[in-house]
Amino acid sequence: MTHSDNDHFSLDTLKKLLPVTESFHGPKYVAELYSKEFHTDAIGHDIHTHLI
């Protein structure tokens, strides 16, 4: 997830992905929103962090 607008942070889509996804990654703010909405862990990263 990159940011929290309706096309990148669709709650309906994320809810459907929850049972088949091992981890969600995104900026710290988006990870926080995800965790609060779905009561599960999400991994937050600093903006401009490169993930390999």
Integer CA distances (angstroms), 40 to 9, 47, 48, in order: 16, 21, 24
Question: Exposure string (b/e) for 4-25, b if CB count within 10 Å is 16 or more?
Answer: eeeeebeeeebeeeeeeeeebe
pLDDT, position 30: 87
Say how many CA atoms lie within 13 Å of 23 toward its Cβ: 6
pLDDT by 10s per residue, the chain, length 52: 655 666 666 788 888 889 998 988 888 988 998 899 999 999 999 988 777 6
Could you list the beta-strand ranges (E) of the chain.
Answer: 25-27, 43-45
Residue 29 corresponds to which tokens in the numbers above?
């703010």
pLDDT, position 52: 67
pTM of the model: 0.71
